[in-house]
Amino acid sequence: MFVPRPETELLAGWAIDHARTLEAPVVVELCAGAGAISLSVVHEVPGARVHAVELDEPAFEWARRNLVGTGVDLRLGDMADAFADLDGQVDVVVANPPYIPLDAWESVAPEARDHDPALALWSGDDGLDAMRVVDRVAWRLLRPGGVVGAEHADAQGESAPAVFTGRWADVRDHRDLADRPRYVTATKPRR
Ligand SMILES: C[S@@+](CC[C@H](N)C(=O)[O-])C[C@H]1O[C@@H](n2cnc3c(N)ncnc32)[C@H](O)[C@@H]1O
């Protein structure tokens, strides 16, 4: 199972800060893994309605255990077609998708590449295949004015925001505590 990394706290913090500005926000986590981000949001944002999806069955099983009693709506499945019942109703979409290019084996820490499941790591030739799915799904789910935030590799500080360039407003990249590019956020315009 993929072990949540400290860097992801920043993305979770961003989702919490944004959700706290809203009354009864609807939050969706894509690629939930063991459910750490959803667990943070549901604990830190009173009144939030949190939904999460994970494709890998063992990870889903961990998330199910971690989220017992929290009220998080956890679903097993592919984010690509998840939550059709929430289309246009979501305030915040948050995701830590797989983002490592298929040929970047050498650059990945041995403890990750030897133990984390492949589905949690690799994401096509440029590492952004899953990010492109996050872009499409977030656009479908968010209401106008809703926001998406997604973690990426430190080498993707320009290429990850570029996925959201065009129809999204306020596309921004954010750095981690070591000053490395770490996650991108964008807003669905209200027009
Ligand atoms: C980098 S891990 C992040 C897990 C967790 N969100 C965290 O931050 O610790 C990516 C997760 O995305 C899941 N995943 C990959 N492709 C997916 C898809 N198409 N739909 C849903 N989940 C997916 C993997 O199984 C893995 O659990």
The 10s digit of each residue's pLDDT in 126-172 is: 999 999 999 999 999 999 999 999 999 999 999 999 999 999 999 99
List pLDDT tens digits, range 48-80: 999 999 999 999 999 999 999 999 999 999 999
Specify the pLDDT at position 122. Answer: 81
Does residue 175 register a pLDDT over 70?
Answer: yes
109 alpha carbon – ligand 1 mean position (Å): 18
Taking CA atoms only, the protein residue closest to ligand 1 atom 9 is 4
Average pLDDT over every residue of 159-187: 97
For residues 54 and 59, give the distance between their C-alpha atoms in angstroms, rounded to a whole number: 7
Q: Among 53, 60, 67, 119, name the best residue to mutate to test ligand 1's pocket (greatest count of ligand atoms within 8 A of Cβ).
A: 119
List pLDDT tens digits, range 81-139: 999 999 999 999 999 999 888 887 777 778 777 778 888 788 888 999 999 999 999 99
Tell me the CATH architecture of domain 8-187: 3-Layer(aba) Sandwich (3.40)
- Residue 106 and residue 100 in contact, taking contact as beta carbons nearer than 8 Å: no
Does residue 5 register a pLDDT over 90?
Answer: no
Percentage of residues in the chain having pLDDT higher than 70: 99
Residue appearing with tokens 């065009």: 166
Specify the pLDDT at position 101. Answer: 84
- Residue 118 and residue 55 in contact, taking contact as beta carbons nearer than 8 Å: no
Residue appearing with tokens 């939030």: 48
- The ranges assigned to domains in the chain are 8-187
Single-letter code of the amino acid located at 171: V
Convert the chain into a string of H (helix), E (strand) and C (coil).
CCCCCCCHHHHHHHHHHHHHCCCCCEEEEECCCCCHHHHHHHHHCCCCEEEEEECCHHHHHHHHHHCCCCCCEEEECCHHHCCHHHCCCEEEEEECCCCECCCCHHHCCHHHHCCCCHHHHECCCCCCHHHHHHHHHHHHHEEEEEEEEEECCHHHCCHHHHHHCCCCEEEEEEECCCCCEEEEEEECCCC
Percentage of residues in the chain having pLDDT higher than 90: 81
Ligand 1 contacts CB of residue 98 (under 6 A): yes
| Residue 173: both structure tokens together | 């990249």
* Ligand 1 nearest-atom number relative to CA 8: 8
Q: Any idea which of 1-10, 37-46, 93-102 has the lowest mean pLDDT? A: 1-10
Taking CA atoms only, the protein residue closest to ligand 1 atom 23 is 31
Does residue 1 register a pLDDT over 80?
Answer: no
Specify the pLDDT at position 116. Answer: 81
Taking CA atoms only, the protein residue closest to ligand 1 atom 19 is 78
Single-letter code of the amino acid located at 108: V
